[in-house]
Amino acid sequence: MRHLIVVLGDQLNRDSAAFDKFDPAKDAVWMAEVTEESTHVWSHKARIALFLSAMRHFRDALREEGIRVHYRELSEGSLADFLKRDIAKLKPQRVIAAEPGDYRVRDSLAPMIEFVEDRHFLCSTAEFREHARGRKQLRMEFFYREMRRRHEVLMDGGQPVGGQWNFDHENRGAFGKAGPLGLPAPRRFQADAITKKVIGLVGKKFAKHPGSLEDFDWPVTPGEALDALDDFIAHRLPLFGQYQDAMWTAEPWLYHSRISAAMNLKLLNPRDAIRAAEKADAPLAAREGFIRQILGWREYVRGVYWLRMPEYVEGNALDAHARLPKFYWTAETDMACLREAIGQTLRYGYAHHIQRLMVTGLYALVAGVDPRQVHEWYLAVYVDAVEWVELPNTIGMSQFADGGYLASKPYAATGKYIARMSNYCAGCRYDPAESTGERACPITTHYWDFLIRNEAKLKKIPRMEMQLRNLVRIAPAKKKAIRERAQELRDAH
């Protein structure tokens, strides 16, 4: 055998650089399903099923092309162990793979594989290192503008279309008391024979893992991924911008796209999503907001991940050591916002970015939960979680554990933020305006405790000045009561 092409579970794109000069007469593909990839964090059943089903569909598509695929169905062990055995048996001249999306996987496979650049992304790791060179502080906005210019996206004669680079101020709308009206349901994908078999396997093999498989309907092929994109562009993109931060009880999808998992498994090329949004019949603010998440934030966090790993995962700038509450795995809590966001996550393996950042992430941040535990939870429970994108969003953006490398301030708020952006608080026993007493919202209590215990560190962050100014107005006796109540809540975790 000349070349053995290793295809990992999040590398399901036929146009990968690993396939350059592929010769079916001389080369072959190697793929493996191994339990370690589902158990190194306690993965959601739907996440496991998505990876396995998409991998098996990709395997079959390659075989239909006449390509030899050495494929191991679910086996106990690790990728490195099985690959080492099969290399010894197949004796290829070269073993080639696209760059993995997980430092742990790359580190374990590096002695055996020749990695090539992952062309799925619009910014290579080398290009990002060049962008970061000499900068004391990185900011996504400057990177995003650079990417817009380089790829000529929403540009007009060297200037941004519409005369400004982003429309954040137009993209923070909340629903009225009536909630979202005439909400279009997203395209659903019925399980075929392959997916049904995988669902049965996962339900049996990983029965004790979190989450449900009853509502599984994620795209598992490139064709389905394009259908999901087309459905979003036609029916939800026009209002995506305005309501991208809004939340509503029992409405998991709202105006979001449901394509992040397909992109992260590389069933969908981000260039296709960007082009579709750029040409769409939708307000500029909606198109720009959606494109910024892909061309800006998605590429940016990947660059940060590979620039800062492996030490990045150890970040704990705020010295947070509380344990992750048990209700993150069960949704059994009397806090309506967390019950809704976590319950939805366990049911579908999905929550949109504000539910992650400003509900589950917010509580963990202000409660002082160990950021490593928070990271492992996010990696486990979301179907779109691959470490290169999940870890920076959790460690840097959500938990501020990197001390401000990724975000310019901690995303800390009282429960009143959630009340403003959702209807969750209407069905809750707690009052988001109260920080002490029986009806005090735990998020609000933890918020003020977060400011008190981190005051010295937060004073060094310019964007925290206003929040710390409010802290001065609280009497010592009330501060003491807040701190005692916050500790009681942590002890109950």
Say yes or no to pLDDT of 170 above 80.
no
The side-by-side arrangement of strands in the sheet containing 94-98 is 69-75, 28-34, 3-6, 94-98, 114-116
426-435 mean pLDDT: 95
Are 440 and 449 contacting, i.e. CB atoms less than 8 angstroms apart? no
Pick the closest to residue 11 from 24, 39, 27, 30 (CA basis).
30
427-436 mean pLDDT: 96
Query: How high is the mean pLDDT of the chain?
Result: 96
Q: Given the structure tokens 């080398």, which residue do they identify?
A: 126
Residue 137 — very low, low, confident or very high, per pLDDT cuts 50/70/90?
confident
pLDDT tens digit sequence for 302-345:
999 999 999 999 999 999 999 999 999 999 999 999 999 999 99
Pick the closest to residue 298 from 123, 154, 117 (CA basis).
123
Say yes or no to pLDDT of 171 above 80.
no
User: Tokens for 269?
Assistant: 């090329």
Are 87 and 28 contacting, i.e. CB atoms less than 8 angstroms apart? no
Which segments of 387-426 does DSSP mark as H helices, in order? 387-391, 415-421
Pick the closest to residue 115 from 264, 263, 268, 7 (CA basis).
7
Q: Residue 438 belongs to what H/E stretch?
A: none
Give the whole-number percent of the chain exceeding pLDDT 70: 100
pLDDT at 168 (0 to 100): 83
CA 365 and chain centroid, separation: 17
CB atoms within 10 A of CB 178: 7
166-194 mean pLDDT: 90
End-to-end CA distance of the chain: 55
102-117 mean pLDDT: 97
- What are the distances in angstroms from CA 441 to CA 421, 423, 425? 16, 15, 10
The DSSP bridge pattern shows strands 94-98 and 114-116 to be parallel
pLDDT at 427 (0 to 100): 84
pLDDT at 92 (0 to 100): 97
User: Tokens for 360?
Assistant: 């589950």
Pick the closest to residue 192 from 216, 228, 165 (CA basis).
216
Task: Spell out the SS3 assignment of 51-91.
Answer: HHHHHHHHHHHHHHCCCCEEEEEEECCCHHHHHHHHHHHHC
Are 215 and 186 contacting, i.e. CB atoms less than 8 angstroms apart? no
Say yes or no to pLDDT of 181 above 90.
no
Rounded-to-10 torsion of CA 301, 306, 310, 313: 0
Q: Residue 5 belongs to what H/E stretch?
A: strand 3-6
pLDDT at 206 (0 to 100): 98
pLDDT at 355 (0 to 100): 98
Are 421 and 358 contacting, i.e. CB atoms less than 8 angstroms apart? yes
pLDDT tens digit sequence for 5-52:
999 999 999 999 999 999 999 999 999 999 999 999 999 999 999 999
Are 7 and 51 contacting, i.e. CB atoms less than 8 angstroms apart? no
User: Tokens for 492?
Assistant: 């109950």
d(CA 423, CA 436): 22
434-461 mean pLDDT: 96
User: Which string of b and e fits 186-221 if b means at least 16 CB within 10 Å?
Assistant: bbebebeebbeebbebbbeebeebbbebeebbbbbb
Q: Given the structure tokens 């969908």, which residue do they identify?
A: 268
User: Tokens for 310?
Assistant: 């492996």
Residues 6+ apart with CB under 8 A from 313: 372, 375, 391, 395
Are 290 and 257 contacting, i.e. CB atoms less than 8 angstroms apart? yes
Length of the chain equals 493
- The reported pTM is 0.96
pLDDT tens digit sequence for 355-385:
999 999 999 999 999 999 999 999 999 999 9
Residue 105 — very low, low, confident or very high, per pLDDT cuts 50/70/90?
very high
- What are the distances in angstroms from CA 303 to CA 10, 140, 285, 325? 17, 10, 25, 31
Say yes or no to pLDDT of 182 above 90.
no
pLDDT tens digit sequence for 209-221:
999 999 999 999 9
